[in-house]
Every structure is written in structure tokens, then in C-alpha cells.
Structure 1
Amino acid sequence: MSSKKFTKWVDKKNYTTCFKIIQKYYIYVDEGQSNIFLKKDLLPLLIKRLFLVFINLFRFNQNPYKKYLGSNNPSQFFKRIFGLYKLEISGLMPENPIFTPLQFKEEASPVVSIIIAVHNHLNHTYNCLKSILANTQNVGYEIIIVNDCSSDGTASFLKEVSHIKYLENTENLGFLKSCNKASAFAKGKYLCFLNNDTQVQPDWLYQMLAVFNNDKETGLVGSKLIYPYGLLQEAGGLIDHLGNPANFGKYQNPDLWTFNYLRQTDYCSGASILLAKADFDLLMGFDERYAPAYYEDTDLCMAIRYQLNKKVYYQPLSHVIHFEGISSGKTVKRGSIKEYQQINAQKFKDKWADVLGTFSPELSHEAAAGKFNRSNTVLFIDVTLPTYDKDSGSRRIFELLKIFRSLNFNVVFLPHDGLRTEPYFSALINLGIRVLYPEHFDKDIFQQLGEVLRKINIAWISRPELNQIYASLIKTNPSITWVYDTVDLHFIREERRLKLQGSITQTEIESVDRIMSEEIALAKQADVTIAITETEAEILNDKGARNVRVIPNVHIPYVGNTFPYKERSGICFIGGYYHTPNVDAVMWLTKEIMPLVWRDHPHIKLTIIGSHPTPEILKLESALVKVTGYVEDVTSYFTSSRIFVAPLRYGAGMKGKIGQSLEFSLPVITTDIGAEGMNLRHGHHVLIANTTEEIAYQIINLYYNETLWKHLASHSFSAIEKYAPDNISRQITQIFKSI
């Protein structure tokens, strides 16, 4: 075994061993067990861990005290040696914090009112508030704290916190009634109920709110709750047909993809939930039959779903660390508040008996977690997560994903590179799409794919190279409809590039022939082949491909404010510069076309927009040429430029940049290659020119001809009408109507 493979093997064994130790140890702790390290199922794991530590120390000559001590506390040293800190959450606030003044921003019109009921445990309350202050961005919020007769220093400290609403009970009301009391003082459109024994993580509240923004039928959203030692507490709650609740994923690895997609669920624990204040008021708050506490959150979720007919969601992107049991413990003791967990269980079952009677007797957690799933599932495979703001191919896939969701499909996305690149990962999760990715030392992407194939109805695979990689695995399940999405015909693009190049070698000819053979072979094997234009569909049909359908780019007209003709200036071009046709177009435009324009019109500036500009493009920067690189929001460029020019000399398929310009009613000058596949009429929708001189002439003509400019702008939307989501949705429905 090579040194690298051995190191990887040791790391994998070490991680999985530590995970099992942590899992078993904390289950025993929560059960109140004693002599935990002597348990028969734990002792062999501890010995294995010590052996792996020895290998690491011997192999890498490490100092065990330096690596594992972390402090002068012998207990911590041994816990580190035995791997109990292997999954610890980085950046947690200290158990005994140093208290410093906290100052929140005053919000006149908060979107969210965060309600926290407290009874003692000031250390946790302080850490909770400090985490909110540090990690709550992009949402206007207020904090309402109800002090339920604390006997420690809670009252004196909270009275000094700036810009919070502080309420003090004169008698102990308990969690439920304290929360109901606080809701009456809330100014926010939404209420967030948050336990004081939590530490929220970055964007926790923004991601909860995103669910409401994306699905108007949302009634309540709950966070992913994680124990401070790194295991999952809850990925949404489940209720069986007997009315028994359970935390889905408890004590599991929170990083597994199974727990990392937006999912409807039976309920979410009240440690961190968000709902509209209007809905909470309509239900008259938490049902006080459950006072002082327990089952009020489960009951609320049931009322949201079965009385208000709204959805309850688990949001995996909202991470909240929960120090469970700080206030009332983890085990039921006679006379303790925890005893209400048993008392209220029967009240809950009695209240919801009719609804529970409709639940399936299937007790499998996996089946229960998926009971709100849609009937059919489509798997998308592409090179990366769709970088919808960087290239037109990704924009097309992103819009198709949204269309499949609107058609009531479950959608699974597999990025071949295995990366959870942001913000694209979060964007897919918030659409309710499940993303497959390699799990830390657990399963590679092919193992995961193999496990989900039995649930797949359609496999939509982009690009010939990915179809060659994944088709054989897809075909192991003959019930899957295999869709080969060409994106564009690569061999057509290469043929055009070689013609432009001039001299062509035999090797280059053979390379194009090989690419064509591979693409045509795939088109003959797949159940459905997707072309992006009618032109390419005809080429595939002529070469014997079967069941070829056209699914083009998707375009949505911009409806915001734009500048009129006379207030606009300059020319723009956009593209991703990993794509060589875009590089060629920019160089031609800047080096040959624009000098003819600048000869008599030196004030016209050119802006080159797009990700990954090459060194040769960056060198074009001058007083007349601006190279922006990647721009997160390009709206201002499209609404203020006077002309969009795309002198594409080779390529294939639809050109997303042309459609994007038409979305903004920005008049376009392009070539036959640029206008290909969109049925664009010269002089009506766009201007088409193919030589250096013709394009330069059309730039000057359009730039100063207000009548022509307005004519083209007024017909932009009609040019892309057929590419609207509703029309593409109908085409997709027609293709898969039998599935």
C-alpha cells in the first residue's frame, strides 16, 4: 500500500471509529448510564481508537500532549485521546463566558420577532444572544425576552441589553404561556421561537425565511438542530400512526446528504421554529392544554398542516446548536417539569386521534420521512452545480430544475465534481432539490447514486462525456427513462472552429469525426435525446438518432426599470470565458471591429462582462474598454447600455447571451451563428451581420438611430415568448406524459 493510500486508510478508520464512539457514548449519557467506558460494545472501539492514535503518533512523530491535551484538564485529555472531540463544533462560545455589554440594532419595522423564554441559565442566554448578534444577517429582527421568574442574575443582565423588549413575569408561567404572552408584543410579520440553550449559526434566520419566500404555502419552518458534540439532534420530527413523535436522524452524522435537503415533515421541535404571526394568532397561540410545556410545538405543527392546510418544512441550511436538556433535563423524574412529557403525550393523541387514524402503520423512519414526497423523481447530472449567473448552459439547467419542481417532480441533482459550491448549493436546496455529494469518509458519489437509482424515474444527463460515464450505471435499472441532453452538438462547434482556423490537420479531422461518432452513438442509445435547437434536432435525425426532442433555453422578460434610449450609452458583451467562442468573439470585437467604430466615434465605450476572463482579455482594459470579470447582478449593465454586440464566429446551439439581452429589451447585433436556432428576423428582432465591416456599420447605425433602436427593443419580448417557462413546461410534459 502506498504512503498516500495508507494515510487515507488510517484517516477513514479513525473518523469512522471516533464517530461510533461519540454516537454510543452520548446515547449512554442521555440514557443516564454509568461506567460507560466499560460497556461491551464500546470497549473494542476505544481500543481500536488507541491503536489508530498510536499509528498516527508513530508514523508522523507527533507529540501526544501537544496534539490531544488542549488544556491542563486530564478529563479533556482522555476525551480527546478517545476521539470524543472529533466532531466538536468549531467556534462554540465558552460554557462560562466573560459577560460584556450586548447592543442590538433598533428596528422600527422588523420582519421577524425572535421570542426567547428564559428561566435561569444566564450563561446559555448570554451565549444565545451573542450568537444571534454575530450570525443574523440580511433580516430585520427584534428580540423579545420573557424572564420567567429567574433566580440567578438573568434579570439584572437583560435589563442592560440595548434594544430588546424585556418582559418579566410576576409568577412562573412556564415556557408555553410565556411564549404566548410575548407574541402579543411582537411587531414582526413572522415569529421565531428560540430556546435560550441554543447557539445559532450564520444565516440561520435568513435561510428559514427563504422557505416562505419560495413557497407561498409554507406554514412553519424548523432548523436543523445539532448537538454541541457534533451529532444530529433532529432533521425534522416524525409522528407515527399511534401519535408517537421521533427526531429524524437523531445521533446521526449531520453532514449526510439524507439530512440535507429541504423536506416537508410532520413537525419541528420548538427550539427553533418560524411561522407567520397571523397564523399563530389565528390558532390563538400554543394550545394551553399543554401548559406548562411539552407537545405544544408538535401540536402547533399539526394545526398548521391540518387546520390551516399549510406546509411544515425542515430547513437543513438553518443550523442551530442545541444544548438539549439544560432547563429540564433529559430523563423523566417524578415531580419534575419533564413529567409533563408523558402527561401531554396522551392529550396530544386524544386531540389528533382522527388525523392519526389516517397515517400509515409503516414504522420505518425513512418511509415516514419521505411520506410527503412527490410521486415521480428526476435525476439531473451535470459537471457542476448550475452556476446560473455565469453561463447560459447553467442558466438553462437551473430553469429546467425549477420547471420540474413546478411539475410536481422530486428532483435530485448530482454534480460530477462533487462540490457544494455556494451560493449555488443553497439555491438548489431552497428549491427543494436534493443534491448528491461525497460524504466524509463514508460513500463516494457512485455508491450514493447506486443507492438512489431504485427511486428514479428519469435520468437527465447533460453532455456526451457525462453520459459516457454514467449511462451504464443508469441502465442497471431498466425502468429509468434515460435522457441524453446534448447541450449543444460539440462536433458542430469543433467543425466551425476548424473552418475559422483555416489550416486543418488530419489529426484534427479525426478528432472531430470521433466526437461526432460518440455523440451520435449516445443519441441512438438513449431513450430520449434532447437537442437545444430545431437545426440540431434535424442533424441528429438525419444521422439516425431516435426520439429526438427540442428543449431550448428558458427566457423570462425583465419587468423592472430601464433607461430610455437617450439616457443610455456604450456597448456591452457578456460571456463565460472558459468557453473559447466567447474569447474569440471578444478579441474580434475589440481588435478589429471597434477600431473601425472608434475611428469616427471615439467616445463609444465597450464593457466586457463575464466570469473567468483570460489573460489576453484582461489586457484589453483601456480608457475605452472595461473588463468587469464576474458580476453578481448584471442588471445595471443591460438596462443602461445602448447596444449589445455578440460577434460569434463559431459555436453551436442557442446562445444564451442573445436571449438574455432580449429579456432586457436591449437591442442586439450578432452574427448568423449568434442568432442560430431562435428564428430571429433581421431588422425586426435583431440586426445580423457577419463581416468586420458590416458589424462596425450596424453598430454605428443602431447607436445613433433612435427609431430603429426603439423598433428592435419593442419586439424583443415577442422574440423570446416561445421560450417562456410555461411553454417549456408544456413541452416537457408532452415528452414525459406517459411516465
Structure 2
Amino acid sequence: MQRDDVTFSGPAVFEWQEGEARRIPVWLRFDEPWYVATYPDVKRDLSAGIGANALGHYRAVGQRRGYAPNRWFDEGWYRSVHPDVTESVADGEMRSGFQHYVQKGYRSHSPHWLFSESFYRTHEPDLTGTVLRAAGLANGYDHYLSEGEGGFRSGSLFFDPAVFGDFVARQSEADFSAFRWFIDNKNGDADRFRASWYFDPVWYLGRYPDVRNLIEDGSFSCALHHYLTAGEAAGYSPQAAFSEEFYRERYPDVGACVAAGQFRSGYDHFLAAGAFEGRQPSPDIALVEYAARPMVRADVGSGIFRDPFAHWVAAQERHEVGSADGALDEAHSKMMFCREAAGLLVEAGRRKLDFSYSGVPTVSVIMVLYNQFPLTLMALASLRDCFPGALELIIIDSGSRDETRRLEDYVSGATIRHLDHNASFLLSCNMALEMVSADVVLYLNNDVKLAPGAVQNALDRLTSDPKIGAVGGKIIRTNGRLQEAGSIIWRDGSAYGYLRDADPNCPEANFVRDVDYCSGAFLMVSTALAKTLGGFDEAYAPAYFEESDFCVRIIQNGYRVVYDPFVVIEHLEFGSSCSNSSQALMQRNRRIFVSKQAEFLRGQYPAHAGNAILARSRPTNGLRILFIEDRIPLRSLGSGYVRSNDIVRSMAHQGCAVTVFPVDAHYHSLSRVYGDFPDTVEVLFDRSAEDMDRFLEERAGAFDLVWIGRTHNLARLLPVLHKNSRYLPGTEFILDTEAVISPRLLLRDKVLRLDEQATPKSLDVALREEFECAYFCQKVVAVTDREAEFIQRAGHQNVVVLGHSLQARPTEKGFSDRKDLLFVGAIVDAESPNLDSLIWFGREVMPKVRAELGNEVRLTVVGSRSRKVDLSCLNEFEGLDIVGEVEDLEPFYDTRRVFIAPTRFAGGIPYKIHESASFGLPVVASDLLIAQLGWTDGEDIVSGGAPDAGVFADAVIRLYRDEIFWRHIREGALKRLGEDCAPDRFDAAVTAVLEDARQ
């Protein structure tokens, strides 16, 4: 297609075209066959002499009639969603919406109801303006269509080529482009198969039969076309899993947002925010509970699914949801466990399990056997695989009559004693204890299977503190549910396996704590302590309650019994005994236990499920703290979450029992969540503000102190805290402001010139409004002395200051080994100071820097971002590389030469500058941030003005070129960091706040 074939005369000149060889975007090409087939009157008009050909017809009359030139552009939709376009066509400024799109709309407007330019550019961050121009592409849509009409990329939430292609491929083996196939709707496939997990055409047409008639008469091309252009606005629901009516009624704030035009519908809100906040999409779907499942969190966290809702819909479609709790039938699972054990017998006959060792063993393992040969071999195989070190295996065969009598043929290097009678579990254990030579002894059942690392993890825990006397683990039954996560001894002497039948991955089961006792199925003990206590009390022979009594005696001798969830054991419950006889023995030995341990039992909680939370942990001297934040404070999130994470770490280090509670639901893999916190911290990853009411009632009396991060969270939760104050008797409340927002917002309005017509609010009024809720707390924490003054101005004198904790760790590379600029910061919303500063820097400063230093200089942007934020505006700036969130920032700090912080409005204290300084990367920052830090221009940081584009560019250029100056700033920043952010100073400040709360 030559230039004079371009549909429109006038300024249809594209900036990306250079020289005479002009590339024509796919969406600009006139498609004559499609045009003639789509609009039946074209043939008639051509026969009547209207237009020399189809293109001439389009130019002459097609535009005025609202026809589209090709399948890639929807003229009617384009005009309907862009009122300014409709107006310009009506005024005669433009002949059609397509002309508008060609001349200027292509930069920002979406051309089709199934493609969003902003969505595509935001979700494909590699498609920067530089990349597109280098490829001669006009915009994101040009790229999308040029890459095999979409390939496996997605240009809309409602079209996922992998989903649609999967459904269609089941019906046809033909190779096809999913996007074109869907638009053309061959064989009606667009109404037969899902194009994404967010819309169900079959359900939609069944629910709204009138839509089918509209499709048949040509008003709409398919069900999704109707929903996105008419149905959504009319309050239609998109699929069975989401009820528009229910959602708006359940959440009145959503209806208000829709009425105000902030969202097109309740579903629009749900997809943008509700699905991530854990809101309920329909009466029958408890999304928060489903999202808490480990596999769901892992799939969402890794990006396989965008959100838990899509995961749920996909699971329903594939029939993978299963039972309500996901549990297997236990009788069946036990049978399968035994069959697995039997299946190992062939290998066992050919290859002995070798427990030989030399020197002093690390652990002595005691196992008592009575028949159950296949189970024994499986337990020993898992033990050998679990721990490669020196194990002294001591086996007492207590009168077995099966193949156990020939165990030496299957196991070497073990001490095996065969008895001619059943000497009982307890007496056999005590017999074996006399043979132990290692410093550590492990009591182990023969009806278990150990997870990798179980023995080493228990050993590490036992030796981590000389006051730990015994360690037990998380015991999972064969049906995949918990047997216990540590155990409770009630006042009446009865025992309770904490969290029995719960999901092993639930947050309550996955933090380390002191407990009353742990099951003897896996119990690791100091050998010296075990022998001092004389092993198990023989009054409990043959078995049951001996480990309860044993653990109580360990505690009475001043030692700790610790539950470690990273010690995982699968257990065939009652696999080595008859359950009926076991129950009888339990009742007898309970009476003995009550008699022997009466004094200990008087200090225990009464037997009631409601006391389980209080009884699950042994009392310690540390405070019990409920730590509330916007979300689980992972360090990679930035935006104050690193500081919150450091506070939690400091609390845990001081022996506090910390429970982390997020106000908003977000989804990360469990490995990521637990890898970011001390193992003694309870991280309630499956909760949100909607659960707070019930949570406080369940945890009545469980907390000494509630630490609330961010003032808006206190304001939001205040009604719930008032209502449930009776469940928090004597509890102290601390508000950690993290940042004072009022000065930032006033400065933002001034910088961006917002509300110029409105009378500006005074700072004092804004501060009073911001901290109106602070009266509820005994202490208010500020991040700087400057912000403490703001809080005092608002009328609250009970303020303390707690800054950042950072250890200097400068990277090795020197000045000459580095290049380029670095920006690190989270972008949480469209009004984020970080987004504003990047736009300002990219537009005003970066061109000046590159003009002086050369176009090879680039800026790398690293940091987490909300999926709701459109970053496509950054793609147009030359020299910007948007990386997104990364786990390890050190490689970036080690290779870049200058860090920039061009913030124009902000509150709090800039952690990113402290972090950059800690890695030894000098910073150019705005005067606003320098004032927040209290640092000195030219000594430990370089000023970029208020910021001012010229000043900032000059500062970057000087620091980039002047090695002596660079080294001076680097050393000065490292020194200042040591003064301001020393970890021991931070810990002392946290300690002071907590000690003040104790009084």
C-alpha cells in the first residue's frame, strides 16, 4: 500500500515513519474482502456507481455511515466510548472515528472493544517507545497485530489466547490465530467457548436470551461484544461466578463508585480491586477462603493466574475444586499409605538400608517395633533419605511375629535387639535409651514417613538454645489433614492436638512456639536431659500419656518444649496399635497423669475449644503483639513495608509473640511469605479487614499490645476496635504513622495544580483531620523528628520517633566499572509520588542528561507496582528501562553509577535513599527528600533542587562524570547511614516503645 493509498488526506503522518520507506501498520490497511462481506449494501452501491471500488466507497459514504475499514477497528464502539471523538465527527472536524484514531488517537485510545492500548502496554513492560520505534511500529496495537495477530499475548482481560485456543483446539486441529479467529467468530466459536476466565458466553446467552436475537440480527457480533458494549452498562452479570446485583448490594461503596462514574460496573470494580481485596463475587463463593489455599496462592503469586477469582473459575471449569475442605477419605488414604509401604518391599529385598557410621553419631534414633514390617521399612527408608549424617539406629523388636524378626537382612549398621515377648512401647524405649551414645536422641514411630530435612531441622532447633529440651514437629495424617501442630494439656489432664483436621498450611500451624508437649511419634530430646529424667515414667506402661508426662517434667526442670512446623511428619494414626485398645489405655493413663501432675495442671486452661488460642503456646516473658498493616509487609514491596518488616523482626528478636494481620488481601506464594519473617512470627496471610470483627472475638484476651501501621488503617478499623474492646482487656494500642500524609497531599496539589478553584485547606486543619482517630492510642510513632512535630501540631503529644534499620554493605564495583542511572520505588496507585517523579524526570531531565552524556546512558526503574496502575505513559520516554519487582536489588546497586530520587511530593522518610547509601551508590535527590533526611548537599547527598530540571540534570551529570566527587559522596553517605540507621539503635528504639507500653 503506497502513501497515496492511505485512507485519509490531511495530516495522516506518523512520527515513527522515517525516510521514504514507510511501513503501514496492520490496523491502517484497508481490507476490501472483509469490507464488502461485512457491509452487504456495498455491492449494491458499487453497481450504482457510488465509488470506483470498495476503498472509494469507504471514502465517499462508508465513513459517514459508521463503517469500519477492517476487522481490527470498531467504528461504532470507538465513538461510543470516546465522546470527544463523536463530537469532532458531528462538528465535521473528523470524517470518522477512524480518521481520529489515525491522526492522534493511536497514541492513547483503544481502537476495539477487545483491545486496550493501556492494558497491553502496562502488561507488556518490555514494549517501550524505543523498542516500538526501533521496530518501525506505530503503537502497541500495531505490535499486537504484527506478532501473529496477538500470538500468546493478551490485549484485554477478556481475551486470553491460551484459554480460547485451548477450548478451540479441542474441536479443531487447524493452526489459527486465536484473536482473529475470535473476531471473525467462525462457526460461532466466540459464543461456544470461553475467551478468558472472566466471561462465559454459554451462560450469558442462557441467562439473557434476548442477546441471542440481537446477535442474529447483526446488532452485535457475539455475546462478549454485547456485554462489553451494552450489557455491562445495563447491569448484566458476565458469568455464573459473579452476580452484579449481589456485588453492588453486598458492597454499597461499589454502587456509589459506579454511580459517580469511577467504574463502569460492579464487575469493573471487582476486576480492578475487589478480586485482590478478597471481596465476595457471588453468594456461594467464599473467595478469601479459597485464596488461602497454598496452591492457589502459589499460582497467583507466580502469575499463572491474575487473581484467585480466575483460579476458582478455571478450577470449576476443569472440575478441580473438589470437596469443601479438600480432604481425602481417611480410611482410603490409610489403605493407600499401607499399599505404598508394601510396594517398597521388592527394592528392600535387593538393597539394604545402610545406617553404618564412624566416630561419634550425631543423633541416636530409638524405634520400637511390633510387627508392621512394610511400615517399618518405609519409615526407615524415609529416615535414611531424610538425614545423610551419622545416625545411631537403635531398634527394639518387641516380640514381632512377621518379617521383622529378619530385619538384619534388610538393614545394616543398626543395633537391633529382638525380644521374645511384647515388652511394650514405653519399656522398650527406656531399654533403648540406655544404649544411646549421641548427644541427641530421637524417639520415632515406625508408622511415619519423614519429609526432607525433618531430622536436620529438628536438630538445628534443639541446638539453637541450651534451654530447649525437646522438639516436635507438624504431624500430618494420611488424608492430608493435621493430626497436631503441637499439643495442649488441659486442666483436667486431657490432651488436645492443636488444629486437628486443619489444613497443614494454615497460618496458625506454621510458626515456632513453646508448647505443653509434642507427640512421641517424633520427639527429639537432649540425651543428657532424657537420662536425667529417667526416660519415660514406667507407671504409664505399656503406652500413652508417657510423652505428655515426659514433656511436663522437661518443663518443670526449666527447659522448653518447642513445636517446629518445619519438621514435617506424615503419620498413619493408630497404625501400630488397635484404636479400641488404645482408647482404653488412654483413659487409664490419664487418671495416672492427673494424679502425678496435679500441681502443673492447676495452672493450665480449662478444656474448651475456645481456649485453644490462649493455650496453644506456653507463657513467655515477651509481649503478645497484634501487628496490623495494609498488607503482609514483604521487603520487596518497598513503600514503608521494609520498615514494618524490620519492626516485626525486632519484636520477634526480643522474644515477643507477634501476629501479623493484613487489612487488605493480597496473594503471594507461601514460600515468599514465610521466607521474609522470623519463624516465630504468626503470619495471617489469609485474613483481611472483613475478618477483623470475628478475629478479635476468637482471640479474646490473646494480645497485650496492638500495633497499627498507617493512620488510615486505624481510621478504617476504629469502629471494629470500639465494638470489640471487651475482647482486648488491658491492651495497649500504638499507632505507627509510617508517614504524615497531609503535608504531602497539600504539596501534591500545589505541584500538580489540582483544585485551583477551591480554597486551599490549611495545614493545621488537614493535620487535625488526619489524626482525628489517634486519640484511641496510648502512643503515636513518627518516622522523623520533623513528622513528630506535625503530629504534635495536630494535638497529640504522646509521640516517639522510630526511623529505619539498615546495615552498610557497599558493593565492590568502583566508579569506572559502573554505568547508567537507577531508580527504585514502588508505584501503588496513579497518584503515587514515585510515578509523578518518573514522569517528570523522563520528560524534563532525562533529555538534558542524555544530550550531555550521550544516548547510551539509560535509567533503570525497579520496584513493585500495582496491577491497577497504567505505566504506559513511561514507555514514551527515551532511555527508560522498566524492570518491575525483583527479589534481589544488589546487582542493580552494584552496576549503576548514580541513583536518582526526583520526588516532588512525599511524606515520611525516603527508605530508597538509605538503601542506596547502604550499597554505596551515591544519590541525587530533590531538596524535599534531603530535608526529610536531614542530610547535607555536597557531603553525603547531591541536591537536585526543589526539584528543578536544570539543577537536577547538572547534578546528575557532575556526579556521573566526577570520580573524586562520586567517592566523596559515597563515603559521606555510608558514614551518615551508620549514624542514622544502625540496627542496634533501631532495636533500642523499638525496645523503648514496647517497654513504655508494658508500664
The TM-score normalised by the length of structure 1 is 0.71
Larger mean CA deviation between 691-700 and 622-631 belongs to: 622-631
- In structure 2, the residue matched to 1:41 is none
Are 1:450 and 2:697 counterparts? yes
Q: Which moved more, 1:123-132 or 1:524-533?
A: 123-132
What is the alpha-carbon root mean square deviation over aligned residues?
5.3
Give CA-to-partner distance per residue, 1:234-286, whole Å, 9 cap, x none: 332344678x46234375545776656533112211212345x6766875994
1:461 to 2:713 alignment: no
In structure 2, the CA distance between the partners of 1:288 and 1:396, relative to structure 1 (3 Å rule), is: same
The corresponding residue for 2:779 is: 528
1:680 aligned to 2:927? no
Structure-to-structure mapping, 1:348-427, within 5 angstroms: 356=599, 360=603, 363-364=606-607, 366=611, 368-374=615-621, 376-406=623-653, 409-418=656-665, 421=668, 422-423=670-671, 425-426=673-674
Match of 1:95 among 338, 343, 364: 338
Question: What is aligned with 1:30?
Answer: none
Structure 1 equivalent of residue 812 of structure 2: 563
Deviation at 1:387, TM superposition (A): 1.1
The answer to whether structure 1 residue 270 and structure 2 residue 520 are counterparts is yes
| Structure 1 residue 672: Cα displacement | 2.2
Residues 176-224 of structure 1, C-alpha deviations (whole Å, 9 max, x = no match):
258648854x6xx966544232244577667656756986754432223
Whole-Å separation in 2 of the counterparts to 1:201 and 1:285 = 30
In 2, the alpha carbon distance for the partners of 1:128 and 1:344 equals 29
Q: Secondary structure at the match of 2:771?
A: helix
Structure-1 separation of matches of 2:924 and 2:956: 10
Matching residue within 652, 675, 693 for 2:953: 693
**What amino acid does structure 1 have at the position aligned with 2:579?**
K
The aligned counterpart of 1:121 is 372
- Measured in 2, the distance between the counterparts of 1:618 and 1:141 equals 57
Matches of 1:157 and 1:411, distance apart in 2: 48
Instruction: Please state how far the C-alpha of 1:583 moved relative to its aligned partner.
Output: 3.0
Give the whole-Å Cα distance in 2 for the aligned partners of 1:90 and 1:704.
Answer: 70
Q: Distance in 2 between matches of 1:381 and 1:115?
A: 43
5 Å-filtered alignment, 1:305-320, equals: 305-307=555-557, 309-316=558-565, 318-320=567-569
Contact 2:941-2:969 within 8 A present in 1 as well: no
SS class of match (2:640)? helix
User: Take 1:182 and 1:495, find their aligned partners in 2: how far apart are those partners?
Assistant: 76
Partner of 2:772, secondary structure, is helix
Percent identical among aligned pairs is 21
2:862 — aligned with what? 609
Mark the CA change 1:679 to 1:92 in structure 2 (over 3 Å): closer, same or farther: farther
Q: Which deviates more, 697-706 or 669-678?
A: 697-706
Q: In 2, distance between residues paired with 1:11 and 1:182?
A: 57
The question of whether the paired residues in 2 share the 8 Å contact of 1:609 and 1:627 is answered with yes
SS at match of 1:530: strand
Instruction: Please give the secondary structure, in 2, of the residue aligned with 1:95.
Output: helix
Residue 528 of structure 1 contacts residue 546 of structure 1 at CA under 8 Å; is this kept in 2?
no
For 2:434 and 2:981, the matched residues in 1 are separated by 53
CA distance in 2, matches of 1:240, 1:596: 73
Q: Report deviation, 1:416.
A: 1.8
What is the CA-CA distance between 1:446 and the residue it aligns to? 1.9
Q: Which residue of 2 aligns with 1:176?
A: 429
1:712 Cα deviation from its structure 2 partner: 1.9
SS in structure 2 opposite 1:736? helix
Instruction: Please list the CA deviations of residues 370-424 of structure 1 after superposition, one character each: whole Å capped at 9, or x if unmatched.
Output: 5515575432222211112321411212222233345554433321235684246
1:655/1:674 contact within 8 Å kept? yes
2 CA distance for matches of 1:121 and 1:618?
68
- One-letter amino acid of the structure 2 residue matched with residue 472 of structure 1: P
Cα shift at 1:467: 1.9
Q: 2:752 matched to 1:501?
A: yes
Q: Answer yes or no: is 1:433 the counterpart of 2:674.
A: no
AA of the residue aligned to 2:715 = Q
Q: Is the 8 A contact 2:804 2:981 kept in 1?
A: no
* Residue in structure 1 matching 2:993, options 729, 732, 739: 732
Q: How does 1:283-298 map to 2 (within 5 A)?
A: 283=532, 286=535, 297-298=547-548
Structure 1 residues 607 and 67, CA gap change in structure 2 (3 angstroms): closer
| Counterpart residue identity of residue 954, structure 2 | E
Question: Which region of structure 1 is more displaced relative to structure 2, 254-263 or 618-627?
Answer: 618-627
CA distance in 2, matches of 1:113, 1:621: 63
Tell me what 2:833 maps to.
Answer: 581
Q: Does the residue aligned with 1:269 lie in a helix, a strand or coil?
A: coil
User: 392-401 or 636-645: which moved more?
Assistant: 636-645
Q: How many residues align?
A: 656
- The Cα shift of 1:547 comes to 3.0
* 1:42 corresponding residue in structure 2: none
Task: Call closer, same or farther: CA 1:401–1:581 in 2, change over 3 Å.
Answer: same
Moved more, 296-305 or 396-405: 296-305
Q: Secondary structure at the match of 1:378?
A: strand
Deviation, structure 1 residue 540: 2.9
Tell me the distance in 2 between the aligned counterparts of 1:462 and 1:89. Answer: 47
Q: Pick from 599, 624, 632: which aligns with 2:887? A: 632
The answer to whether residue 765 in structure 2 is matched with residue 519 in structure 1 is no
Query: Could you say which residue in structure 2 is the equivalent of 1:671?
Result: 926
Deviation at 1:96, TM superposition (A): 0.9
Q: 1:170 to 1:481 in 2, by over 3 A?
A: closer
The answer to whether the Cα contact below 8 Å between 1:643 and 1:703 also exists between their aligned partners in 2 is no
Q: Could you tell me how far 1:654 is from its partner in structure 2?
A: 0.7
Which stretch shifts more, 367-376 or 455-464?
Answer: 367-376
Residue 473 of structure 1, CA deviation:
2.1
Tell me the secondary structure at the aligned position of residue 745 of structure 2: helix
Distance of aligned partners of 1:368 and 1:734 in 2 relative to their CA distance in 1, 3 Å threshold: closer
Separation of aligned partners in 1, 2:743 and 2:601: 57
Task: State the match for 1:489 in structure 2.
Answer: 740
Counterpart amino acid of residue 326 in structure 1: G
CA–CA distance in structure 1, aligned partners of residues 331 and 848 of structure 2: 64
Distance 1:506 1:88 in 2: 73
Determine if the alignment matches structure 1 residue 224 to structure 2 residue 440.
no
CA distance in 1, matches of 2:356, 2:817: 38
Contact in 2 for aligned 1:114/1:194 (Cα 8 Å): no
Contact 1:264 1:311 (8 Å CA) reproduced: yes
Does the 8 Å CA contact 2:448/2:571 hold for their aligned counterparts? yes
- Match of 1:720, as an amino acid? D
Q: Which of 792, 796, 800 in structure 2 is aligned with 1:546?
A: 796
1:211 and 1:430 in contact (8 A); partners too? no
Give the aligned residue type for 1:718. G
Instruction: Measure how far apart 1:448 and its partner are.
Output: 1.6
Deviations for 1:99-141, whole angstroms, at most 9, x for unmatched residues?
A: 374899999999985947263424434554676799x6xx876
| Change beyond 3 A, Cα 1:574–1:340 | same
Gaps in structure 1 of 5+ consecutive residues: 16-61, 71-79
Alignment of 1:582-597 (within 5 A): 582-589=834-841, 593-594=845-846, 596-597=848-849
Q: CA deviation at 1:674?
A: 2.7
Contact 1:494 1:512 in 2 (8 A): no
Amino acid at match of 2:603: S
Within 5 A, what are the aligned runs for 1:206-285? 217-229=467-479, 232-239=482-489, 244=493, 246-249=495-498, 251=500, 253=502, 261-275=511-525, 283=532
Classify 1:86/1:415 alpha carbon distance in 2 versus 1 (closer, same or farther; 3 Å).
Answer: farther
**1:683–1:712 Cα contact (<8 Å) kept:** no
Choose which of 422, 443, 447 in structure 2 pairs with 1:197.
447
Aligned with 1:699: secondary structure? helix
Structure 2 counterpart SS, 1:321: strand
Gaps of 5+ in 2: 1-242, 251-279, 290-315
**What TM-score results when the alignment is normalised by the length of structure 2?**
0.54
- For residues 513 and 111 of structure 1, the distance between their equivalents in structure 2, rounded to whole angstroms, comes to 70
Q: Provide the C-alpha distance between the structure 1 equivalents of 2:413 and 2:761, rounded to a whole number of angstroms.
A: 75
More displaced stretch, 471-480 vs 151-160: 151-160
